[in-house]
């Protein structure tokens, strides 16, 4: 096997069935990175606790998400895929890192302010410490590269700062500063044609829908708002369906839509039908693999447990080094 270029770490909260935004913005990249890097992908259930009102769905959401990742092409024989809380060393490192983290920096982060605004009834201690836990995830596995969307870039920078502070304060080089890697498509727009695709806005298209459900969902997509009737010419440059064609349709079809939309040769309904057909074709291998995997749910849990076993081998070493650097007794 060719020498790998380093280690990749990424985590995502257990949000259940994944949608096109998750796929194009994250999972596709996770799959591709496996060729060149040792990859560690984590379902961060502890992070989810900071925002959830109910925790009853975490288990099911974790399972569904793992199923989607595997069906999309994560290879568990080489890649470590696991559940965050199954490797408890992360919580200890989180505590150690909190000692070199100025509180004011945490409360100044735009992501904290945004979350606090969204859930004023639940501004908990964990919410403030979210970036420290994220830093502990990344630093525990000595990641070289962290692939994230633009919105998370400040947290990776923050992780680098914490690593520097820790290394400086305890005169060590134990913690490795990671590099951020942005995903190719940092923002996939939802069916409303305006906002980032997201489950909470109900503007998403799940990968695991049936072909019929996919068509129905695509039909709700908002196109060029200026185009009121079939006879009006449209503007593909401002149409989210056209953006999707560019990803899922052939160059000839993209060209056809580009020309015909502008001269009202094709209507939005037919344009969406074509996109839905191509999306369904593209997702077919994913869906059949998913159905196959879903026949043995225990296999999914076994993969996650095996991942945790392999992850904890790395985690134990880093934590021990961190404890030694600080001078905590053995
Ligand atoms: P988390 O907040 O834990 O990252 P999300 O479900 O919001 O969980 O996102 C998981 C991954 O999918 C992240 O890497 C995120 O950047 C990506 N992602 C989610 N929605 C979109 C979107 N609409 N466009 C691009 N990337 C997205």
The pLDDT tens digits of the residues spanning 9-62 come to 999 999 999 999 999 988 999 999 999 999 999 999 999 998 887 888 999 999
139 C-alpha to ligand 1 centroid (Å): 21
Under the banding of pLDDT at 50, 70 and 90, the label for residue 151 is confident
Under the banding of pLDDT at 50, 70 and 90, the label for residue 1 is low
Atom of ligand 1 nearest to the CA of 185: 25
Positive or negative CA dihedral for 228, 229, 235, 239?
Answer: positive
Return the minimum-mean-pLDDT range out of 86-90, 179-183, 238-242: 179-183
Separation CA 173–CA 181 (nearest Å): 23
Separation CA 63–CA 53 (nearest Å): 20
Return the minimum-mean-pLDDT range out of 184-193, 259-268, 280-289, 297-306: 184-193
40 C-alpha to ligand 1 centroid (Å): 17
243 C-alpha to ligand 1 centroid (Å): 18
141 C-alpha to ligand 1 centroid (Å): 21
Separation CA 197–CA 25 (nearest Å): 10
pTM: 0.94
Of all protein residues, whose CA lies closest to atom 13 belonging to ligand 1?
26
DSSP per residue, 37-93: SEEEEEE-HHHHTTT-S--TTHHHHHHHHHHHHHHHT--TTTSEEEEGGGSTHHHHH
CA Rg value for the chain: 22
Greater model confidence, 179 or 153: 179
The residue whose CB lies within 8 Å of the most ligand 1 atoms, and thus the one to mutate among 13, 23, 43, 149, is 149
- CA-closest candidate to residue 213, choices 151, 280, 281: 280
Under the banding of pLDDT at 50, 70 and 90, the label for residue 228 is confident
Per-residue pLDDT, 246: 95
Of all protein residues, whose CA lies closest to atom 4 belonging to ligand 1?
12
């Amino acid at each position: 096997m060719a020498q790998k270029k380093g280690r990749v770490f990424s985590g995502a909260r257990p949000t259940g069935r994944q949608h096109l935004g998750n796929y194009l913005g994250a999972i596709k990249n996770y799959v591709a990175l496996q060729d060149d890097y040792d990859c560690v992908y984590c379902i961060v259930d502890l992070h989810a606790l900071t925002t959830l009102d109910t925790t009853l769905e975490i288990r099911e959401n974790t399972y569904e998400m793992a199923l989607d990742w595997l069906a999309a092409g994560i290879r568990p024989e080489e890649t470590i895929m696991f559940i965050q809380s199954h490797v408890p060393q992360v919580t200890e490192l989180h505590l150690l890192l909190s000692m070199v983290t100025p509180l004011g920096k945490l409360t100044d982060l735009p992501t904290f302010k945004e979350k606090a605004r969204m859930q004023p009834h639940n501004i908990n201690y964990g919410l403030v410490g979210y970036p420290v836990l994220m830093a502990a995830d990344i630093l525990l596995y000595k990641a070289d590269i962290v692939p994230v969307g633009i919105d998370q870039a400040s947290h990776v920078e923050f992780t680098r700062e914490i690593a520097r502070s820790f290394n400086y304060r305890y005169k060590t080089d134990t913690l490795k500063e990671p590099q951020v890697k942005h995903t190719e498509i940092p923002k996939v727009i939802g069916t409303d044609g305006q906002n980032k695709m997201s489950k909470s806005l109900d503007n998403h298209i799940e990968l695991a829908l049936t072909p019929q459900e996919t068509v129905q969902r695509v039909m709700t997509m908002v196109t060029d708002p200026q185009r009121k009737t079939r006879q009006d010419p449209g503007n593909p440059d401002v149409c989210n369906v056209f953006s999707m064609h560019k990803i899922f349709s052939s160059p000839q079809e993209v060209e056809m839509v580009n020309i015909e939309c502008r001269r009202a040769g094709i209507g939005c309904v037919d344009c969406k039908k074509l996109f839905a057909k191509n999306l369904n074709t593209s997702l077919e291998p994913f869906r059949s693999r998913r159905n196959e995997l879903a026949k043995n749910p225990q296999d999914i849990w076994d993969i996650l447990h095996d991942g945790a076993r392999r992850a904890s081998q790395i985690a134990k070493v880093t934590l021990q080094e961190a404890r030694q650097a600080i001078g905590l007794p053995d």
